[in-house]
Structure 1
Amino acid sequence: MAEVLLYHHVQGLTDGVRAFADDLRRDGHTVHTPDLFDGRTFGSLDEGMGFVREAGFDALRERGVAAAEGLGPELVYAGLSFGVTAAQKLAQTRPGARGALLMHACIPVTEYGTPWPGGVPVQIHGKEGDEYFAEDLPAARDLAATASAAELFLYPGDQHLFTDASLGDFDADAYRLLLERVRTFLASV
């Protein structure tokens, strides 16, 4: 079984993020869900982004990085949209990563000053018509083409946070398929 460090999206540690973590826990995985927003959740992406701007994007990402300090190095780092910033940074820069799950976002590998580490598998998931993921799609394609064990999955539709059952963007069919792929991934690391 894998140990997963799952970072929430910009709307916070919502019930839908907790439900996703619980789905993985039911499979026997250990899943940590640090709350980078100290209990705050937001009703929209715009409200969440307003909070991130006010609190400081880099400060919140570093809070996410710090959440890994008390955990062993052999983690699967998982991020949902905003949470990808911490998950990807740790997967790229912290030795011992077992894998990365990047959902709804992907950062250019050059952002963290080091190439993607050899032997660290990664899955990237996004909606093909999602205006936010469209900005990240070139980085996702680049990572998928250059990492030794990378998969890029595009789902039909335009919802951004389609994995969060507590939000209006939830897509049950796409979520089931993503969860099946994530389960396969976690079983292999």
Structure 2
Amino acid sequence: MAEVVLFHHAQGLTPGVEAFAEELRQAGHTVHVPDMYEGHTFETLEEGIGYASRTGFGTIMERGVAAAAPLGGEVVYAGFSLGVMPAQRLAQTRAGAKGALLIYSCLPVSEFGATWPADVPVQVHGMDADPFFADEGDLDAAKELAAATERAELFLYPGKQHLFADSSLPSYDQAAAELLTRRVLDFLSAL
């Protein structure tokens, strides 16, 4: 079974993020869910992004990196949207990374190094009409990543919701979330 560190999205460590982590635990995986917002959660994505902006996106990312520091190197780094920042950084730069799950977001590989590590499998998940994912460069970055390594899989879901796998939010899409979860569990079981 895999050890996973799961970084939350801009609305904070919501019940839906906790529920996703619990699904992975029920499948036998060890899952750590650090709170990069130090207890704050937000009703809307805009409020959460505002908090991250005021706090500093770099500060939020460093909180995530620091939370993963005590864990062994053989970890799968997973992130939802904002949480992709520390997840992708750690997957690309920390020796021994077992894999990466980049959900609702993907940064250009050049943010953290020249290339994606050849031995680190990665999945990217997003909705094809999500304005945050499809229109702000994340989809392009995900396509470039998928083209650059045979260890990358890009999964697009029909729809425009951003945080579609968080069961505690109005943006939740049950069918897409169930498919995403199955794909994530298959990924983890193959490691």
- TM-score interval for Structure 1 and Structure 2 normalised by the shorter chain: over 0.9
Q: Residues of 2 paired with 1:93 and 1:104: CA distance?
A: 21
Structure 1, unaligned stretches of length 5 or more? Answer: none
Bigger shift: residues 133-142 or 109-118: 109-118
Q: Residues of 2 paired with 1:13 and 1:50: CA distance?
A: 16
Alpha carbon RMSD of aligned pairs, Å? Answer: 0.6
Q: Residues of 2 paired with 1:121 and 1:174: CA distance?
A: 22
2:6 is aligned to: 6
Q: Residues of 2 paired with 1:115 and 1:92: CA distance?
A: 8
2:144 is aligned to: 142
1:130 is aligned to: 130
2:169 is aligned to: 167
Structure 2, unaligned stretches of length 5 or more? Answer: none
Write out aligned runs for 1:1-189 (5 A).
Answer: 1-134=1-134, 135=136, 136-189=138-191
Q: Residues of 1 paired with 2:79 and 2:30: CA distance?
A: 15
Q: Residues of 1 paired with 2:150 and 2:182: CA distance?
A: 22
Q: Which runs of 4+ in 1 moved over 2 A?
A: none
Shift of residue 113, structure 1, vs aligned partner: 2.5
Shift of residue 119, structure 1, vs aligned partner: 1.3
CA contact (8 A) 1:93 1:114 kept: no
SS at match of 2:68: coil
Residue correspondences, number: 189
Shift of residue 114, structure 1, vs aligned partner: 3.5
| Residue identity (%) | 59
The TM-score, its normalising length taken from structure 2, stands at: 0.98
